Amino acid sequence: MPSSLVDGNSLLALDIDAAATRAVLFDVVEGEYRFIASGAAPSTVEAPFKDASEGARNAIQNLQNVIGKTLLDENRNLITPSQPNGVGVDSLVVNFSAGPALRVVIVGLLKEISLASARRLAESTYARVVETIDMSDSRKPAQQIDAILRAKPDLVIIAGGTDGGASRSIQKMLEPVGLASFLMPEEKRPLVLFAGNEKLTEDVQALLKDQTGGLHFSPNVRPALETEDLDPAQSELARIHLEIRRRQINGVDTLNLWSGGNLLPTGYAAGRMVRFLAKLYASSKGILNVDIGASAAVIAAGFKDKSTLNIYPQFGLGEGLPGLLHHTTLENILRWSPLDISVGALRDYLYQKSLYPSAIAATQEDMAMFNAIAREALFLAMQAAKRDFPRGAARIKPDLTPLFDPILAGGGALNNIAKPGEALLLLLDALQPVGINTVILDQNTLLPMLGAAASQNNILPVQALESGAFLSVGTVISPVSESSYGTPILRAKLVYSSGAEARVELKYGTLESLPLASGESATLEIQTLRGADVGFGAGRGGKTPVSGGALGVVFDGRGRPLNLPTDAVRRRELIKKWLWTLGGE
């Protein structure tokens, strides 16, 4: 898109999560959109503040202080559009992920078909499935009603029946939903999203219209038995999510008003951007975006023919931290720690930190625990999300992470790490990428903001992405290999644009790096040893152009899947060594 088409509108983007609120200004500089600056403040969704807009005002205030431009009026309201004297901004978009996970009941016909689709749909927002009902449910209708009442849902998602297919069975399943909702106090009735057989729309209207907190329809998530189409339902679910938040949380209405309705759940906005990038790059490899913060762990992946979005509040690092122990053990978390920390100290940390999600690590020990927890949470999220990746995605081995390039990573956990090397090691440990990947850190949570901005301004996301607003960590080479520790598995030669060369021999179990500055590119010649595979085929080498970053070109020879030594002392020494190699401590 030629820059002359840019009309010069400034855009403010807000990201509000459970712990922090960020304000980012984008504006046109020399004919192209640029990231200008950001400001942050603690979120104010929780008591005693109980108003999301207060944190937004504070973050905007901090941004004002950075840029020296007035954005708020004397009543601390956003000035929009921008005024002739230069104050204010032209538009605002807001991403929102704060608040308790939505309580969702999912209803479907067949467990493996429509119920599975309803579950995947629920996972595309900040939700927790608290009850499921399907055709194989042996409970009596009255017991199902009682179960729904006990579940106290914010939302019921109903799927089932292919378009024009089964209808009687679904009608039967609507009954307990309608009756349970009817029995609840009016202000507590759940919203209902019907994403099943489209033929039933009128029946659903007739049965549920007056019994629910609001009835929504989306195209069928299973239009045919072998076809799943979640995208339109995800879009409707994003609207529902915000409708619920507007009812639950003060200040969301103000933000909605300021932004002219341009308010999106953060994860959904990130998913939208990943879909867009997957289409833009149309590569044989996928595009991966991960975000690990106080509200949730988000995994958005874009492939040639399909995109997936998985949001896991259960793996968020905020109020739900003690719940992480339902999914893993203290020992599993501590395997990632470079410091000798007792399980008791870690358990206490999980509970104590959950009281204050916005608190940050001030000491080295606190930071070691926080990073270990973040690794484990992101690892678990990635393992769960992998189940939804398409079977046809390019891979080196079926059970390993598919090939992704680039990998974009953000969220509070990564923003709260001082050095890029520490952030990269966290990502390598948790995601265990294979082959050749460019790794980019989204330190200002820009990607979901660009996803939200795309609906207002389709030039901005493209230009902002290319403007260097993200921190390129570098290119990572992760061979798949089965060898013993210390065995050479790869030799590489990096040929710089100046003609200079640098060489490295990678031994199994180690990390190496070669310098290549941000903005520079070079050619990497790879020779694999002992059957190692970096995506050229087992035992085959090749040449590939690589781009630089804060850490240059990093070689991860630690094997996939990553097996850490069982001996705790040796493991901690190795982690320290790896951190040191990548410029951490």
Partner 1 sequence: MQAPVLHIIGLANIVRERVLPVPGETLARLNQKVSSGDVVAEAHFAREHALLDVARILRVSPKMANSLIQCKFGETLAAGAQIAAGRGLFPRVVKAPSAGRVAAIGGGQVLLEISESKIEVRAGIPGIVTQVIPERGVVIQTAGSLIQGVWGNGRIDAGQLVNLMEQPDSVLTAAQLDVSFRGAVILGGIVKDPETLKAAAELQIRGLILSSIYPSLLALARELRFPIMATDGFGPLPMNSLAYQLLSSNAKRDVTVNAEAYDRYGGGRPEVIIPLPVAEAPDLAETVEFAPGLQVRMRRPPALGALGSIISIKAGQTALPSGLRAPCAEIKLTNGETVIAPLVNLEVVG
Q: Which is nearer to partner 1, 150 or 577 (CB)?
A: 150
Q: Which is nearer to partner 1, 150 or 503 (CB)?
A: 150
Q: Which is nearer to partner 1, 18 or 532 (CB)?
A: 18
DSSP category for residue 101: P
Question: Residue 432 in contact with residue 465, Cβ under 8 Å?
Answer: no
| Tokens 């874009």 sit on residue | 302
To partner 1, the closest distance from the beta carbon of 385 in angstroms equals 28
| Tokens 């085929």 sit on residue | 537
Task: Let me know if 526 is exposed, middle or buried by CB neighbors in 10 A (0-12, 13-18, 19+).
Answer: buried
Prior bond to 81 cis, omega within 30? yes
Q: Which is nearer to partner 1, 357 or 479 (CB)?
A: 357
Q: Which is nearer to partner 1, 175 or 243 (CB)?
A: 175
To partner 1, the closest distance from the beta carbon of 361 in angstroms equals 4
Q: Which is nearer to partner 1, 142 or 280 (CB)?
A: 142
Q: Which is nearer to partner 1, 2 or 68 (CB)?
A: 68
Q: What does the alpha-carbon distance between residue 70 and residue 61 come to, in Å, rounded to a whole number? A: 8
To partner 1, the closest distance from the beta carbon of 554 in angstroms equals 20
The tokens of 377 are what?
């949470």
Q: Which is nearer to partner 1, 244 or 269 (CB)?
A: 244
Q: Which is nearer to partner 1, 145 or 373 (CB)?
A: 145
Q: Which is nearer to partner 1, 353 or 375 (CB)?
A: 353
To partner 1, the closest distance from the beta carbon of 359 in angstroms equals 5
Prior bond to 561 cis, omega within 30? yes
Q: Is 553 helix (H, G, I), strand (E, B) or coil?
A: strand
How many CB atoms are located within 10 Å of the residue 517 CB? 12
Site residues, partner 1 (CB under 8 A): 41-42, 44-50, 54, 58, 99-100, 140-142, 145-146, 175, 179, 182-183, 185, 188, 248-249, 319, 322, 344-345, 347-348, 350-353, 355-356, 358-367, 416-419, 422, 585
The tokens of 298 are what?
């988000």
To partner 1, the closest distance from the beta carbon of 40 in angstroms equals 10
- Spatial neighbors of 341 by CB under 8 A, at least 6 apart, are 334, 365, 368, 369, 372
To partner 1, the closest distance from the beta carbon of 175 in angstroms equals 8
**Chain centroid to CA 366: how far?**
24
DSSP category for residue 543: E
| Tokens 């991960």 sit on residue | 290
Residue 527 has φ and ψ, to the nearest 5°, of -120, 115
Q: Which is nearer to partner 1, 188 or 577 (CB)?
A: 188
To partner 1, the closest distance from the beta carbon of 472 in angstroms equals 21
Q: What does the alpha-carbon distance between residue 260 and residue 450 come to, in Å, rounded to a whole number? A: 17
Q: Which of these, 152, 240, 160, lies nearest to 192 by C-alpha position? A: 240
To partner 1, the closest distance from the beta carbon of 179 in angstroms equals 6
To partner 1, the closest distance from the beta carbon of 425 in angstroms equals 14
Q: What does the alpha-carbon distance between residue 575 and residue 510 come to, in Å, rounded to a whole number? A: 10
To partner 1, the closest distance from the beta carbon of 324 in angstroms equals 12
To partner 1, the closest distance from the beta carbon of 363 in angstroms equals 5
To partner 1, the closest distance from the beta carbon of 25 in angstroms equals 19
Q: In whole angstroms, how far apart are CA 249 and each of 52, 130, 366? A: 7, 21, 31
Q: What does the alpha-carbon distance between residue 115 and residue 195 come to, in Å, rounded to a whole number? A: 11
Q: Which of these, 338, 537, 534, 555, lies nearest to 439 by C-alpha position? A: 555
**Chain centroid to CA 154: how far?**
22
Give the bridge partners for 413, in sequence order: none
Q: What does the alpha-carbon distance between residue 43 and residue 493 come to, in Å, rounded to a whole number? A: 48
Q: Which is nearer to partner 1, 41 or 453 (CB)?
A: 41
b/e sequence 90-106, b meaning 16+ C-beta within 10 Å: bbbbbbbbbbbbbbbbb
